[in-house]
Homo-oligomer: A and B are copies of this chain.
Amino acid sequence: MGEQVDKAQILVASNRGPVSFSVDDDGSLSFRRGGGGLVSGLSSVAAEIDTLWVCAALSDADRKAASSAPDGRLDRAGFDLGGARVRMLDIPEQTFANAYTSVANSTLWFVHHMLYDTPNKPLFDAAFRAEWEDYRAYNASFAEALVTGAAEGAKAAVQDYHLALVPRMMRGRRPDLRIAHFSHTPWAPPEYFGMLPADIGRELLEGMLGADHVGFLSRRWADAFLKCCETFLRADVNWDHRTVDHGGRIVRTGVHGLGADAEGLRERAEQEDVAERRATLRELVGGRRLVLRVDRTELSKNIVRGLAAYRELLRTRPEWRGRVTHLAFAYPSRGDVPEYRAYTESVRRIAEEINEEFATPEWTPLILEVNDDYPRSLASYQLADVLVVNPIRDGMNLVAKEGPVLSHDGCAVVLSTEAGAADDMGGAAVMVNPYDVSETAEALHTALSMPDDERRARCERLVEASVALPPQRWFTDQLRALG
């Protein structure tokens, strides 16, 4: 295929791509497809239409694959990607670490989720400035790959806070392109976003405003972004149309509330490994009510307060002792960030405390599992009576949507007001302030006490809201928003 014909009409850019590699014992590379809303949303589209997906090599095996492929084009290196064209960028390791771990995950993620221990962090010094240079370089690598891979008038969908600078970098070189940026996180209010160095805050906002359309998972996050544009760029915001007038261009914002991939989930959940897990879990839980939570061990997921609420339930409502089992699946995340290691320890500690306080020879009140087992998660969704989703702040939270979809007998959802999922699901879930452990304990009681018919009726409404915008449509909506 010649250079010209190979240019794509649709481009996707995201830090994590649709595949990841590992090195087998014999030294050869093998790969597996990733999960998550973005991958399932884009994969189906990518295979069908003229799409190039640009992503970063995340591991040594990825680097090996990327560097062995011509121009990083995995599809040209003999990997069967089901028709998708993927360019994996072999970004220098230190540049990647600074951009991804230090800037994106330890700074931007913390800002948008309001996770800082503010008296002590953040601290923007000369070392941070050096990391920021690498974030720029990492963004520039993506922009370069996108502009060289884009056909005349192509559409590009740039994903998330890792790539905030890409739209503006692209526009400078390719004004013919139509560019969308989509944020999978919340957006910080101005009082919090303003912690960033002023020039860096402006660079992030202006970077995103290089796009034609800036998308979010919730109206709340879109509005917070607009407020930041008003506050820090003195940009003219039209609040009726929710557009920003900046640099002589009108940039639109939009809300695309990513839903569950019901079809894919149900298909996966019918497999044998899920049935096996289900049998094991059933035995474990016995005839008791099952309260479930499934999270990455992520600072924003609020696992400790969730477990504290369960403890308060058992203290204040002793009638539940012996009658309920709490399964908490908290699989490891970001072990390279010290706050996450400390948080994982806190989760373990309170779990032990709860069992020390309440366990009997016949009953283990809480079962905490800190390893990842996807079919087990799906099986637990099928069985749960109550699903707890109480993040202190969350772009959307797909667990809240996937749980009801797979539930066999209708589950109640205890849901944080601070999750994007609350926008659509608030009416049918039992809502909680994630900082309010007493309220969450009461919500657990309410959810556990709910009559079967009410729980099932609510669950139906939860499912309806959950599947309203499946991943594929979520993605095509982003492209459609580009006109």
A residues sitting closer than 8 Å to B (CB atoms) are 114-120, 122-126, 128-129, 189-192, 194-198, 299-300, 302, 304-305, 308, 312, 315-316, 339, 343, 346, 392, 433, 435-439, 441
Contacts and interface: CB of A to CB of B under 8 A. Distances in A.
Contact of A197 (B114, B192, B439): B439
Contacts of A308: 123, 125
26 contacts: A114-B118, A114-B191, A114-B192, A117-B117, A119-B299, A119-B302, A119-B304, A119-B339, A119-B343, A119-B392, A120-B346, A123-B308, A123-B437, A124-B435, A124-B437, A126-B312, A126-B315, A126-B316, A129-B438, A189-B190, A191-B192, A194-B433, A196-B435, A197-B435, A197-B436, A198-B436
A468 to B, nearest CB: 26
> How many copies make up the complex?
2
Contacts of A119: 115, 299-300, 302, 304, 339, 343, 392
A125 B437 contact: yes
Nearest to A128: B438
A29 to B, nearest CB: 37
A435 B118 CA distance: 9
A191 B439 CA distance: 18
B305 A123 contact: yes
Nearest to A117: B117
Nearest to A298: B119
A461 to B, nearest CB: 23
Contacts of A124: 433, 435-439
Given A126-B438, A191-B191, A118 B392 contact: yes
A328 B450 CA distance: 60
A390 to B, nearest CB: 12
A438 B189 contact: no
A441 B197 CA distance: 13
Q: Which of A114, A129, A346, A435 has the most CB of B within 10 A?
A: A435
A115 B115 CA distance: 11
A197 B392 contact: no
